[in-house]
């Protein structure tokens, strides 16, 4: 037998002594060129091992191959806390980070599809209007002329130059597709004069500077009712450009009301506004489709240039599967390479199950699963081999029917000679693994160790949580609850819905299903009237910095701070690490960052407060025998007992803690930074926060995202308790265990995009299984073994 070549023996990725986040000296060997799935309950350390250790080190080492100059422009990554990492290859990370919600970012601009389309139109479009920039809604048209000085030899000479650039941006909405209009009745009461307090914008009070500037500007009679203003006075009040005015011997600037409100309020992120200002903005500003470009974002010239009667705006509005057909029909030998490239991108969309999107869809409106699959597009046709692809729950947001497709894609990537690492909870995907690494046994501090390594068969037989729950199949309920009323939706046409009429029963657990893109979210978020009594929990990500933690996010810190302050006779601000109680050395961060330019910055625990984040004097104040840093270090389950009875009883805090325990976050420390929570944990934190809102109807969008099979049972128990307490729960969900548990199912379809948008089934889960006429029915029947 011949000995293998020295280069062929490196067939393992070896991790030794990984300690990122909650990992406890984890040592694993992962086979290369195979598909390895990482399982375990939410918060057990899967992402810490795969993303924060293996993928992070790979990226850091690749960045180090660039020159110091180039590294200065790249994100600096610290070395993961691990003893040794051998055999790692280039990692390509396809995570679930939502795509930036920039108003100018669309599915077409986020992939290369728009760039190729623009070149196509600039070569073949008639009439010809210019370069590819002329078809881009992110490029404005500009022109200029003037003299430039040219130095030649000893003399300098002024030369007249003109400059023009034709862009495709619609000048009215600046490429956003929507314009904001002010509802003037919300800005002022036209029956009053300025002196009578006509202006109703927050902050523009009777004797405040803002009103004094307007009244004293000299443009208006401050005692005349606004409805009697002339057209010029009205224009001056609303739109006047900034001018200097002198009031009470002070030089001030007068500016029209609308530009001033735009600068002071609309330039801020909506989430960052104070509640009363946010309420005013929601009342006073309406976003309407731009009347000039009809929402296409493009200038008139760009819309007039056509290929076979189709403009670039029409092409971007088509469903991608239809656009692919149109591109296939273009016979233009001179453009063959470009058409082949565009064809490949569009076919990849269809292959990955996103053929129902259109290129003009804003990327901020994609769900987490859709965003992840859009990022996959560029890797599908890649000719790279021997790289490591790292996926974060690639099946999230996918119907069981679509999961088969995703499995095929993962196996194709592996068969090209790549190492594929997948963090996953769904048994349908775990089954295709060549190697499984199960982390646990619990979550948070109770996790972080390897419970099992080996084959899928070995996992099934093992006595781990994942092994025990692997073949769990929920049975369809025998008896279902009877609805108390119904929420009537008539003629719903949001997105791809085709005039849907449906009655959603109330007082029961209703599940809305259908393949990805069939119109579920459109029905729930676009047609259920938000407002009275509806608590809607969507998939948008939790925002939060290193300074945010479960205690600050849920509002739990507020009653705790007040109780500490009252017990010690000092002010509440002392008990906040973001306010007066912060350690002066590290400003309440607990760590000190040293920025080393292009090298990875170093974070060291603050020596002054030893990472406790508070000033030493604050820690001398106690409540119930504990100081504030000890309270923040408690896990939720311990804190629930601590604040539930005895000397430290705080009912308001106990209520919030009980909700956190209900959603299965009992192991999370109150002061743990939000940035270290896993996706599933953040989703449940959000659920716990919203459960406190007043409302009788709860609308949940895929609450099982990021949840282990064992956690799904707990979630179902929580949903049952909500319904039993008299609430109505409407869930958009693909997980068969949730479908089987429903009292009523509404199935949308039959396909995605314009093949969907219809109600294909309404009834009980048992009837859906017996009927088997829809894709959902067939998969649910197979799942429950009917």
Least confident among 13-27, 202-216, 233-247: 202-216
- 546-579 per-residue burial string, b: 16 or more CB within 10 A, e: under 16: ebbbbbbbbebbbbbbbbbbeeeebebebbbbbe
Which pairing describes strands 310-311 and 306-307: parallel, antiparallel, or unpaired? antiparallel
Widest Cα–Cα separation across the chain = 104
Adjacent-strand bridge partners of 536 = 699
pLDDT at residue 190, as a whole number? 85
What span, in angstroms and rounded, lies between the C-alpha atoms of 200 and 280?
9
pLDDT at residue 201, as a whole number? 85
Whether the CB-CB separation of 465 and 710 falls below 8 Å is answered with yes
pLDDT at residue 598, as a whole number? 65
What span, in angstroms and rounded, lies between the C-alpha atoms of 197 and 188?
9
pLDDT over 60 (residue 375): yes
Adjacent-strand bridge partners of 592 = 604
pLDDT over 70 (residue 530): no
Whether the CB-CB separation of 558 and 578 falls below 8 Å is answered with no
The mean pLDDT of the chain is: 89
pLDDT over 90 (residue 540): no
Adjacent-strand bridge partners of 591 = 605
Q: DSSP secondary-structure letter at 582? A: B
pLDDT at residue 36, as a whole number? 98
What span, in angstroms and rounded, lies between the C-alpha atoms of 706 and 478?
28
Q: What is the dihedral of CA 296, 300, 303, 304, to 10 degrees?
A: 160
The CA distances from residue 339 to 123, 126, 324, 384, 691, in Å, are 12, 18, 10, 22, 51
Secondary structure class of 517 (helix, strand, coil): coil
Phi, psi of 16 (to 5 degrees): -125, 125
pLDDT over 80 (residue 380): no
Whether the CB-CB separation of 44 and 442 falls below 8 Å is answered with yes
Secondary structure class of 11 (helix, strand, coil): coil
The CA distances from residue 311 to 49, 117, 122, 421, 587, in Å, are 48, 10, 11, 42, 56
Contacts of 161 (CB under 8 A, 6+ apart): 145, 146, 147, 148
DSSP H helical ranges for 305-366: 312-317, 320-328, 336-351
Phi, psi of 364 (to 5 degrees): -70, -15
Stated pTM of the model: 0.84
Whether the CB-CB separation of 96 and 397 falls below 8 Å is answered with no
pLDDT over 70 (residue 269): no
pLDDT over 70 (residue 452): yes
- Taking only the tens place, the pLDDT of each residue in 175-210 is 988 887 788 888 888 888 888 888 888 878 767 778
What span, in angstroms and rounded, lies between the C-alpha atoms of 179 and 654?
46
- 132 backbone φψ class: left, alpha, beta (φ>0; ψ -120 to 50): alpha
pLDDT at residue 346, as a whole number? 96
Burial of 428 (0-12, 13-18, 19+ CB in 10 A): middle
Residue 299, token pair as written in the block: 């200038």
Find tokens 């299984």 and name the residue: 769
Residue 242, token pair as written in the block: 């900034």
* Short-list 464, 503, 451, CA closest to 728: 503
* Short-list 700, 625, 693, 624, CA closest to 655: 693
> Within 10 Å of residue 256's Cβ, how many Cβ atoms?
18
Whether the CB-CB separation of 398 and 779 falls below 8 Å is answered with no
Q: DSSP secondary-structure letter at 364? A: G
What span, in angstroms and rounded, lies between the C-alpha atoms of 642 and 635?
11
Secondary structure class of 574 (helix, strand, coil): helix
Provide, for the chain, the percentages of residues in helix, strand and coil under a 3-state DSSP scheme, each rounded to the nearest 5: 40, 20, 40
Contacts of 43 (CB under 8 A, 6+ apart): 22, 443, 444, 447, 667, 668, 677, 678, 680, 681
Greatest mean pLDDT among 91-95, 313-317, 399-403, 687-691:
313-317
Residue 47, token pair as written in the block: 């992402």
Find tokens 């657990």 and name the residue: 509
What span, in angstroms and rounded, lies between the C-alpha atoms of 781 and 771?
9
pLDDT at residue 323, as a whole number? 97
- 203 backbone φψ class: left, alpha, beta (φ>0; ψ -120 to 50): left
* Short-list 759, 726, 767, CA closest to 743: 767
155/736: higher pLDDT = 736
- Taking only the tens place, the pLDDT of each residue in 397-418 is 888 888 988 899 899 999 999 9
pLDDT at residue 26, as a whole number? 96
pLDDT over 80 (residue 103): no
What span, in angstroms and rounded, lies between the C-alpha atoms of 714 and 767?
25
pLDDT over 90 (residue 619): yes
- For residues 752-766, average pLDDT: 92
Least confident among 45-49, 205-209, 661-665: 205-209
- For residues 720-733, average pLDDT: 93
> Within 10 Å of residue 141's Cβ, how many Cβ atoms?
16
Least confident among 140-154, 330-344, 595-609, 749-763: 595-609
* Short-list 635, 629, 597, CA closest to 614: 629
pLDDT at residue 786, as a whole number? 65
pLDDT at residue 287, as a whole number? 78
């Amino acid at each position: 037998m011949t000995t293998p070549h020295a280069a062929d023996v490196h067939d393992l990725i070896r991790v030794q002594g990984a300690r990122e986040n909650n990992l406890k000296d984890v040592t694993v060997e992962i086979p290369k060129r195979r598909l390895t799935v990482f399982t375990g309950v939410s918060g057990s350390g899967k992402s810490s091992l795969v993303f924060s250790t293996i993928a992070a080190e790979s990226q850091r080492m690749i960045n180090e191959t660039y020159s110091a100059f180039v590294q200065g422009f790249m994100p600096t990554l610290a070395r993961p806390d691990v003893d040794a990492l051998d055999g790692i290859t280039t990692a390509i990370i396809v995570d679930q980070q939502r795509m930036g919600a920039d108003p100018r970012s669309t599915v077409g601009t986020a992939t290369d599809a728009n760039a190729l389309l623009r070149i196509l139109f600039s070569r073949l479009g008639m009439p010809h209007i210019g370069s590819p920039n002329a078809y881009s809604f992110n490029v404005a048209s500009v022109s200029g002329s003037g003299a430039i000085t040219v130095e030649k030899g000893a003399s300098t000479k002024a030369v007249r130059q003109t400059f023009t650039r034709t862009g495709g941006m619609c000048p009215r909405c600046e490429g956003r597709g929507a314009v904001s209009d002010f509802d003037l009745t919300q800005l002022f009461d036209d029956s009053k004069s300025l002196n009578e307090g006509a202006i109703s914008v927050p902050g523009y009070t009777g004797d405040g500077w803002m009103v004094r500037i307007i009244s004293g500007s000299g443009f208006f009679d401050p005692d005349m009712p606004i409805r009697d203003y002339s057209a010029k006075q009205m224009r001056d009040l609303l739109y006047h450009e900034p001018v200097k005015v002198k009031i009470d011997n002070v030089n001030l600037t007068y500016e029209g009301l609308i530009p001033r409100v735009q600068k002071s309020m609309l330039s801020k992120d909506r989430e960052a506004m104070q509640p009363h200002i946010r309420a005013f903005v929601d009342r006073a500003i309406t976003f309407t489709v731009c009347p000039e470009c009809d929402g296409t974002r493009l200038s008139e010239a760009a819309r007039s240039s056509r290929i076979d009667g189709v403009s670039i705006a029409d092409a971007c509005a088509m469903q991608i599967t239809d656009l692919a057909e149109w591109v296939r029909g273009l016979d233009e030998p001179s453009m063959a390479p470009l058409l082949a490239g565009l064809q490949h991108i569009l076919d990849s969309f269809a292959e990955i199950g996103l053929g129902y999107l259109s290129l003009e869809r804003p990327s901020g409106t994609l769900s987490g699963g859709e965003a992840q699959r859009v990022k996959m597009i560029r890797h599908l046709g890649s000719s790279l081999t021997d790289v490591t692809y790292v996926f974060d729950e690639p099946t999230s947001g996918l119907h069981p029917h679509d999961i088969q497709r995703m499995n095929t894609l993962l196996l194709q990537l592996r068969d090209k000679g790549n190492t594929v690492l997948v963090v996953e909870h769904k048994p349908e995907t775990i089954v295709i693994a060549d190697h499984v690494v199960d982390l646990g046994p619990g979550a948070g501090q109770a996790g972080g160790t390897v419970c099992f390594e080996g084959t899928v068969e070995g996992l099934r037989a093992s006595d781990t949580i994942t092994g025990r729950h692997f073949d769990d199949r929920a049975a369809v309920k025998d008896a279902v609850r009877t609805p108390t009323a119904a929420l009537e939706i008539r003629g719903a046409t949001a997105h791809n819905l085709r005039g849907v009429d449906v009655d959603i029963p109330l007082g029961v657990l209703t599940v809305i299903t259908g393949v990805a893109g069939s119109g579920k979210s459109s029905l729930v978020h676009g047609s259920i009237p938000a407002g009275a009594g509806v608590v809607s929990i969507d998939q948008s990500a939790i925002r939060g910095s290193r300074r945010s933690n479960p205690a600050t996010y849920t509002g739990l810190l507020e009653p705790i701070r007040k109780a500490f302050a009252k017990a010690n006779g000092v002010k509440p601000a002392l008990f906040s690490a973001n306010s007066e109680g912060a350690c002066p050395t590290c400003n309440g961060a607990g760590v000190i960052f040293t920025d080393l330019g292009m090298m990875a910055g170093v974070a060291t625990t603050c020596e002054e407060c030893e990472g406790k984040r508070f000033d030493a004097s604050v820690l001398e104040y106690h409540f119930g025998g504990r100081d504030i840093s000890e309270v923040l270090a408690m896990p939720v389950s311990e804190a629930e007992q601590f604040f539930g009875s005895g000397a430290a009883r705080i009912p308001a805090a106990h209520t919030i803690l009980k909700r956190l325990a209900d959603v299965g976050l009992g192991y999370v420390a109150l002061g743990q930074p939000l940035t270290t929570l896993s996706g599933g944990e953040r989703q449940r934190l959000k659920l716990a926060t919203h459960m406190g809102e007043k409302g009788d109807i709860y609308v949940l969008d895929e609450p099982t995202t990021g949840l282990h099979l064992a956690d799904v049972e707990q979630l179902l128990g929580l949903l049952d308790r909500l319904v039993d307490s008299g609430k109505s729960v409407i869930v958009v969900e693909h997980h068969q265990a949730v479908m089987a548990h429903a009292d009523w199912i509404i199935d949308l379809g039959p396909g995605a995009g314009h093949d969907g948008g219809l109600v294909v089934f309404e009834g009980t889960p048992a009837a859906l299984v017996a009927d088997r006429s829809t894709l959902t029915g067939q998969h649910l029947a197979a799942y429950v073994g009917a």
